[in-house]
């Protein structure tokens, strides 16, 4: 068989394939440097390590050596697991002084962290840290499981970590290495940031409780309950609740997560139902929310009685996801139903839902290389959501106040002329009467009545009569100041309550209105309607005269009666007020 001749082309191809093979196979044969220089620590994420996972009951002495492999970024988030996860690395101190350093755990819900360590191939020492022990038993007063070690000068410390849960839970193997000084600074910085977060949340709770007490609105109370449940969830997640509030209750710290999540979902749905008036605007959605709340309640009761322990993790996370997906959708539908403040509700839940969904994905799906960023975003999103919801509540309060003022205005307003009515006159006169000592000007009552108004209605119809009444109402408003009270009693009778220097000024005001009305006929359907009015004036409140509400009407009416009797289209004074002192 003839031999093939080697050519330059074939040699180059062989080199290329060899190079490509080395590149592709390099990760499989690569050895990882697992030594960490302690003099260069600064929150270093532990990646230079070997890794393997075993059953939880595996001991260090029986750990298979051939199972170790390089620890990679994708190994940090393991998703939901019930296995033990081992990390092995060496810390080197090249300096002339001992270095005190800290291994910091990322999450607050790790059940157990065992640490085996030895200096320069000595005997392994063993420490166990657990969330199932009282907080005071921790070596370091810190919210997550962390351990402090010391490496002498020019010495290596071999460290093996074992992290695991009692049952199924979401494993995060992000451990960071700090010098003791850097760790203390980190702790102080975290305390400041968490203080700002919880301070802002508690301020929102206080404001909502004040709104509930002052306005007597249960919606604000439901919002406060929702905020408190959010705070409870974050105290659990951050580990600050265990550190400061319930340090002797490790069972609550470990098992209360799911209870807090269910309470959060329940209060969120209750606040949404109340705030968006779902029973009226979206009754089917309201019934759905009630059904979900009932389901959450049954799950919570079953869990408290010892059931569902194997699946509560999935159920509580599903409850959070369900709430997060429903709320922005319902907010959008309510906004389309012309509930104006629902746009803030929708925006708030969109922010929160995005962070929550990303966090749930990162904690339940292995190999998502997101680190703790989604959880940090979710906590910031919680604060933003709470602020947006407070804006929504404030918008609702403003709208409620506007509607209240509108209702009061309508209750005190004549719908035809948009002047006040008898109720407004009585209310304002009572205010004047109660504050008599604070007022320097006397108060006068002008009663105005259209002359021969029945004839206008007979000749031009009631629509024509209404136009005349509106014209007179506009004329009265034009001649009155902001503090004057102008009303229509009903029919063709009007009144003005005005504070002036003297009876002469009251006379001038009445005459000005009378003459303007008489000299400016009303045009209706191409017809000219001529009209006049009569007016009676009475001094009703001053240092010398104090009349009650009924007396001011009788006094002014008596003057008006005289004007009518004298031939109409004129003004008369009440000469002897009945309440004159």
Q: Where are the domains of the chain?
A: 35-183, 217-402, 422-573
Can you give the pLDDT at residue 33? 55
Q: Is the pLDDT of residue 2 over 50?
A: no
Cα separation values, 320 from 6, 67, 357, Å: 68, 38, 9
For 313-336, what is each residue's pLDDT tens digit? 889 989 988 998 899 999 999 999
Question: Do 247 and 241 contact (CB within 8 A), yes or no?
Answer: no
Can you give the pLDDT at residue 23? 38
CATH fold of the domain at 422-573: Alpha-Beta Plaits (3.30.70)
Question: Do 572 and 538 contact (CB within 8 A), yes or no?
Answer: no
Helix axis angle, 218-238 to 373-411, nearest 10°: 170
Look at 98-112, 127-141, 194-208, 373-387 and tell me which has the smallest mean pLDDT: 373-387
Question: Do 166 and 81 contact (CB within 8 A), yes or no?
Answer: no
Separation of alpha carbons 38 and 183, rounded Å: 13
Can you give the pLDDT at residue 18? 46
Give residue 421's pLDDT band: very low, low, confident or very high (50, 70, 90).
confident
Can you give the pLDDT at residue 4? 44
Cβ contacts of 371 within 8 Å, gap of 6 or more: 76, 77, 174, 362
Can you give the pLDDT at residue 555? 85
Strands 84-93 and 35-37: parallel
For 205-255, what is each residue's pLDDT tens digit? 998 999 888 888 888 899 999 999 999 999 999 999 999 999 999 999 998
Give residue 141's pLDDT band: very low, low, confident or very high (50, 70, 90).
very high
Q: Which two tokens stand for residue 491?
A: 């029919």
Q: Is the dihedral of CA 384, 388, 394, 398 positive or negative?
A: positive
Range from 15-19, 147-151, 212-216, 390-394 that averages highest in pLDDT? 147-151
Can you give the pLDDT at residue 169? 86
Can you give the pLDDT at residue 369? 59
Q: What is the mean pLDDT of residues 446-474?
A: 91
What is the distance in angstroms between the CA of the first residue and the CA of the last residue of the chain?
144
DSSP letter at 288?
Answer: H
CATH number of the domain at 35-183, please? Answer: 2.60.40.2380
For 303-316, what is each residue's pLDDT tens digit? 999 899 889 988 99
Separation of alpha carbons 141 and 110, rounded Å: 16
Whether 492 is catalytic is yes
Q: Is the pLDDT of residue 96 over 50?
A: yes
Catalytic-role residue among 48, 114, 385, 492: 492
Residue with tokens 């249960």: 218
Can you give the pLDDT at residue 371? 59
Can you give the pLDDT at residue 30? 39
Look at 56-65, 364-373, 464-473, 501-510 and tell me which has the smallest mean pLDDT: 364-373
Cβ contacts of 404 within 8 Å, gap of 6 or more: none
Q: Which two tokens stand for residue 404?
A: 């209240």
Cβ contacts of 338 within 8 Å, gap of 6 or more: none
Give residue 338's pLDDT band: very low, low, confident or very high (50, 70, 90).
confident
Instruction: List the alpha helices (DSSP H) in 339-421.
Output: 342-364, 373-411
Percent of the chain at pLDDT exceeding 70: 90
Residue 131: Cβ-neighbour burial (10 angstroms; 0-12, 13-18, 19+): buried
């Amino acid at each position: 068989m003839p031999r093939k001749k080697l050519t330059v082309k074939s040699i180059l191809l062989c080199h290329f394939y060899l190079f490509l093979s080395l590149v592709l196979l390099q990760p499989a044969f690569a050895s990882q440097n697992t030594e960490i220089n302690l003099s260069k620590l600064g929150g270093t994420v532990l990646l230079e390590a070997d890794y393997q996972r075993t059953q939880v009951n595996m001991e260090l002495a029986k750990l298979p050596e051939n199972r170790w492999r390089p620890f990679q970024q994708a190994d940090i988030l393991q998703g939901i697991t019930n296995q033990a996860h081992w990390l092995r690395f060496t810390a080197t101190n090249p300096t002339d002084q001992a270095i005190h350093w800290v291994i910091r755990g990322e999450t607050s819900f790790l059940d157990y962290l065992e640490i085996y360590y030895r200096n320069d191939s000595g005997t392994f020492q063993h420490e166990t840290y657990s969330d199932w022990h009282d907080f005071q038993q921790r070596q370091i007063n810190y919210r997550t499981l962390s351990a402090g070690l010391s490496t002498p000068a020019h010495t290596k410390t071999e460290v093996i970590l074992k992290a695991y849960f009692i049952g199924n839970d979401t494993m995060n193997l992000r451990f960071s290495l700090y010098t003791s000084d850097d760790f203390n600074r980190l702790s102080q910085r975290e305390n400041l940031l968490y203080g700002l977060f919880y301070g802002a949340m508690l301020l929102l709770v206080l404001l909502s409780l004040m709104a509930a007490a002052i306005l007597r609105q249960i919606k604000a109370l439901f919002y406060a309950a929702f905020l408190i449940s959010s705070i409870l969830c974050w105290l659990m997640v951050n580990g600050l609740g265990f550190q400061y509030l319930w340090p002797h209750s490790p069972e609550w710290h470990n098992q209360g997560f799911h209870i807090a999540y269910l309470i959060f979902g329940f209060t969120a749905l209750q606040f949404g139902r109340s705030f968006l008036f779902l029973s009226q605007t979206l009754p089917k959605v309201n019934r759905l929310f009630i059904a979900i709340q009932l389901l959450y309640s049954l799950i919570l009761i079953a869990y408290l009685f010892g059931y569902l322990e194997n699946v509560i993790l999935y159920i509580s996370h599903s409850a959070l996801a369900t709430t997060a997906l429903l709320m922005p959708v319902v907010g959008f539908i309510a906004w389309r139903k012309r509930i104006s403040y629902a746009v803030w509700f929708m925006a708030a839940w969109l922010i929160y839902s995005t962070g929550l969904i990303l966090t749930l994905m990162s904690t339940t799906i292995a190999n998502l290389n997101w680190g703790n960023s989604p959880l940090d975003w979710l906590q910031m999103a919680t604060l933003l959501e709470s602020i947006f919801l407070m804006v929504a509540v404030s918008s609702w309060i403003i709208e409620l106040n506007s509607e209240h003022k509108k209702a009061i205005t309508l209750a005190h307003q004549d719908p035809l002329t948009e002047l006040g009515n008898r109720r407004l006159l009585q209310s304002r006169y009572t205010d004047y009467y109660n504050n008599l000592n604070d007022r320097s000007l006397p108060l006068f009552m002008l009663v105005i009545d259209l002359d021969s108004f029945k004839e206008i209605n007979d000749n031009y119809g009631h629509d024509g009569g209404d136009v005349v009444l509106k014209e007179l109402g506009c004329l009265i408003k034009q001649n009155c100041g902001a503090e004057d009270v102008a009303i229509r009693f009903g029919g063709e009778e009007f009144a003005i309550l005005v504070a002036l220097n003297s009876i002469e000024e009251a006379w001038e005001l009445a005459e000005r209105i009378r003459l303007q009305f008489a000299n400016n006929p009303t045009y209706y359907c191409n017809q000219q309607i001529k009209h006049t009015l009569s007016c009676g004036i009475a001094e009703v409140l001053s240092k010398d005269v104090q009349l009650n509400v009924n007396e001011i009407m009788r006094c002014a009416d008596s003057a008006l009666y005289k004007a009518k009797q004298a031939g109409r289209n004129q003004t008369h004074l009440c000469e002897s007020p009945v309440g004159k002192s």
